Structure 1
Amino acid sequence: MVASIALWSCKKEESTDPTTTLDQEVTNSSVETASEAQEEADKLESDINEIEKTFSSTINARTTGDTTVTFKRCASVSITKNTTASTRTVAIDYGTGCTDSITSGGTLVTITRKGKVTIVYTGKWNALNTVSTTAFAGYSSTITKNGQTLSRTISGTRKVTNLSSITFNSNGLTGTPKFRYENNLTIELPAIDNDRPAATVTYISDKTKTWSKGFGSFSPFDDEFTVTGTFSGTNRKGVAYSAEIQEAVTHKTECWKSSIFMPVSGKVKYTTARGDATVDYGDGTCDRKVTVVINGNTYEYDAGQ
């Protein structure tokens, strides 16, 4: 996945009522924080997906000793199958710093990862009902874009259950991948501005994600995902929130070419001590505009302005 920098400078229609304005600020912080947390989870998922596709036969082999391969130019990946069980272990070691880069929308984006990520599979990675559990050891990612640098550190666990059967044929991978993602993460976020100071936040989610378009193709920009489920955590302001996806959220990778990584449609209900807020991501257009309804008040903002 092309990585983004979540520099949210929200252009919104503010209420003159100070209570309503505070409600908006709490909601915005929850939406933004959840977006940053999910972005890190998605970046990690993209790396793991790439490893699963690239080294699928080795991961799925009936018997294997320790196999070591190179990933992202400098990361070391060891693949081990327990000789007495179906368990497989993939360990990605980025060491003290492994840098990768890509050009997005004419802009060079570099990502430096550090630390180690270990994934344990209960069976073949592409088999129905296989569960993979991911753990972290000193893992962080640093993104540099347009001279701006943001670093995030992740700890905790990530559990993925395969709800589909992915097959191989002469045309490559086929099927409609569907996975359940259960995250229980702690993420250290860097300061962006005075309104968004450095913070350690939590992110707990239980989502189901369907790869509805583009699976198996060689283009990274023709994919479409639909997501349902719930998530919760604490935002940068230290306020607890919970959220439920009321209408399936859709992501399109064609938007990445314009450095847009937000959902293009769907509705999410956020709940905090300030009340409930519904966030509408739009009609499928690649943009950063959302509409928020909170306590009977409606406002809009553009997360890219």
Structure 2
Amino acid sequence: MKSYFSTNRVLAVTIAAVGVATLFFACKKEVTTDTASNNENDNNTLVVASHEAQAQGIYGDLFETAAIAAVDQNVAGNVRKADYEDYANVTACPSILISSADPNVWPKKITIDYGDACRDNYGITRSGKMYITLTGLLFNNNTHIDIQLDGYKYNGIPVAGKNSISGISFNATTGIQYTTEITGGRISYSDTLIVGYTSKKTVKQTAGAGTPTPNDNVYSIEGNASINYEKGGPAGNATIASQTPLLKANACKWVSQGKALVAYGSLSATIDYGNGVCDDKATITINGDKVREVTLK
């Protein structure tokens, strides 16, 4: 399955978490009077920023997966099928089952079973199960969707939590808009690093709805998130808020515009995805003066 907004490829900032964070300021050329404690706080803030970008990509993948399954089971409703038809049958797995094919029976439950490993054509391997409950056709106005994960892994990383999707609206002129909320999120990077995650964000189509192909579609993402470390990682909690909307165009592999603000303790970091130029670069700025360029995947 290909991610609808390709968030599984574009929002995960590749910083290699703690390993690269420890090198962040060692590579700077200017003279600094920061204490070791200050450097540690700066590096921890960078780690938090990287985990937010990764979590955004992992959980952002869920709605797109649900949309592909809904198209596969003919419960998508009034949506331009071309946005999904070239994604829906690209691999032999996973298996997708629906509780009832009767168009008058709601809610419906879709079960996606990835088995032990299901690799899509874009390099993402998933395993476990996903349960999707819909109160109506997916793209009907005000349909509510709940997504539950059961033994689910994303590229070998165990992921837990509930994704509730509400406020769905769609029409041929403005495209799609919805609100996505993650509760009880948990990403288990290892036995010694478990990241707790919650978020509430709005996704809105900003261009391309009235054209015959999906190539010119553009989407904005705005909202808030929080991170806490259930095991390992920096002490304390962090909050993330949109500073300007993140913009993702179908024609570009990466998010190419927008900023997110990460607050960790007394420090803040800004993730800047650029000014609209399609490239694989973003910058993280800590407290307004320490800057690191990172590569997007």
Q: TM-score, normalised by structure 1?
A: 0.74
Is 2:163 aligned against 1:158? Answer: yes
Out of 24, 33, 46, the residue aligned to residue 42 of structure 2 is: 24
1:283 aligns to 2:275 (yes or no): yes
- Distance, in Å, in 1 between the alignment partners of 2:284 and 2:151 is 37
Shift of 1:72: 3.5
Residue pair 1:212, 1:226 contacting (<8 A) in 2 also: yes
Q: Which residue of 2 aligns with 1:234?
A: 228
Give how far 1:216 is off.
8.0
Q: In 1, Cα distance between the equivalents of 2:272 and 2:124?
A: 30
Partners in 1 of 2:54 and 2:243 — Cα distance? 20
User: 1:51-200 maps to which residues of 2 (within 5 A)?
Assistant: 51-55=69-73, 57-58=74-75, 72-81=91-100, 86-102=106-122, 110-142=123-155, 151-166=156-171, 175-184=174-183, 185-190=185-190, 199-200=193-194
Identify if the C-alpha distance between structure 1 residues 44 and 28 changes in structure 2 by more than 3 Å, giving closer, same or farther.
same
Q: What letter is aligned with 1:46?
A: E
SS in 2 for 1:301: strand
- Report sequence identity in percent: 21
**CA distance in structure 2 between the aligned counterparts of 1:177 and 1:290, rounded to whole angstroms:** 29
Q: Which of 7, 29, 39 is equivalent to 2:14? A: 7
Could you say which residue in structure 2 is the equivalent of 1:46? 64
Q: Return the alpha-carbon distance in structure 2 between the equivalents of residues 92 and 238 of structure 1.
A: 36
Q: Does 1:250 align with 2:247?
A: yes
Which 5+ residue runs of structure 1 have no aligned equivalent? 61-68, 103-109, 143-150, 168-173, 191-196
Superposed displacement of residue 82, structure 1: 9.0
More strand as a share of residues: 1
Alpha-carbon distance, 1:38 to partner? 1.1
Deviations 1:40-91 (A, max 9, x none): 1123332222223343x3466xxxxxxxx98841211111249785312111
Whether the 8 Å CA contact 1:279–1:293 is kept in 2: the answer is no
The answer as to whether partners of 2:188 and 2:194 remain within 8 angstroms in 1 is yes
Question: Which residue in 2 is equivalent to 1:301?
Answer: 292
- What TM-score, normalized to structure 2? 0.76
Aligned residues: 263
Q: Give the Cα separation in 2 of the matches to 1:199 and 1:49.
A: 31
Taking structure 1 as reference, are residues 270 and 7 closer, same or farther at Cα in structure 2, changes over 3 Å only? Answer: closer
Structure 2: runs of 5+ lacking an equivalent: 78-87
